[in-house]
Every structure is written in C-alpha cells, then in structure tokens.
Amino acid sequence: MKKVVFAVLFSACAFAAHAQDPMVIRYGVDPTFAPFESIDPKGDMVGIDIDLGMEKLSMEWTCGGYVKQALTQYGMLTHNGAGLRFAGGLQSEDLEAVKAVELVVRGRHSEIDFGTAKPGDDTALKIITSLSYYKLTIDGEELIEIDVVNMIKRIGGKDLLENFRLALGL
C-alpha cells in the first residue's frame, strides 16, 4: 500500500508548484478502483504495487589491493566507460557439478574508497559503479539483461520493453 500512496504523492508533487500553499500537498484516492486501491474488511487501504520503472542501477564491488585499471577508469566521461566482467562458479553442497556464472556490466565509477590500509595490512579497494548495462548469465542461460540506453529489459529471455520500443518507433 505504501507504494500506491507514494505513486499518488509523487503525482501530486508534480502539481505542488501550482498549489496556492506550496507547503500543503493534497491528493485523493479512489477506494473503489480495485485491485490498485481498495478498502479491505478491516477498513485499511490496500492495493497492488504498480510498475513505476526502475531505480538507478549501481554496483558496489571490492578488489584486493589497488587495481590500476579500475583506478584509471575513474572519471570516464561516457556512461559506459568502465566495462567489467566478473566470472565464477556455483556449486551446491550436494552435487559435484559446477555452474558457470558471468556478470557483465558497463558504467562509470562514481566512488572509490581506499579504506584505511596500514603497513603490513591487506589492502582493499571498494568501488561504486553507476551502471548503464547489466547482464547476468548462469550456466549459459541469460537470466537478466538490462540496457538502459537502448531501452532493453530482458528477464528470463522475455523482453519486457519490446512493446514500448515498438510504440515509440525505436
């Protein structure tokens, strides 16, 4: 229910600049508009979450030591200046088989934390990267691919934004 109310508040904020008193935001709901909003038997407002799009994609990652390539990618001027590939494997406790895992991202490093290294300590470099592209593949199957610039959101092989691109002529 909080997201439904938030959506209404968000819409109301767009018109707040035109309100007589900018300190007061008024909004209304229609409790007969099930399933998006309705009143349950207890008298509480309930409803389903609506899709308001995606939040900004970012990733925090840590590497052991100082990695020169990551440091030189800081400050890239393009949204996809830092291309990263992480590869590994998954193995359950009861099977010997290992599934390959690959994460490919493109973006721009927005923060680098050198930590508090002291002589004799291991060093770690923590980096936050704002992403414009994300693809997760497990055992050869592409599970998630999000390409913000090209308006692609493919989850489990289904492109959730294909109809939007067609409607926009993209």
Statement: the pTM of the whole predicted model exceeds 0.75? no
pLDDT for the residue 141: 95
pLDDT in tens, 73-108: 888 888 888 999 999 999 988 888 899 999 999 999
The answer to whether position 53 is within a domain reads no
Q: Which residues pair with 86 in a beta bridge?
A: 103
Whether residues 12 and 68 fall in one domain: no
**Overall number of domains in the chain:** 2
Phi, psi of 2 (to 5 degrees): -60, -40
Which of 86, 152, 76 lies closest to 107 in space, CA to CA?
A: 76
Whether residues 63 and 138 fall in one domain: yes
- Asked whether 84 and 76 are in contact (CB, 8 A), the reply is no
Residue 103: which domain range? 58-168
The answer to whether position 52 is within a domain reads no
List, for the chain, all residue ranges whose pLDDT scores fall below the cut of 70.
1-29, 33-36, 49-53
Q: Which residues pair with 144 in a beta bridge?
A: 136, 155
3-state DSSP assignment of residue 123: coil
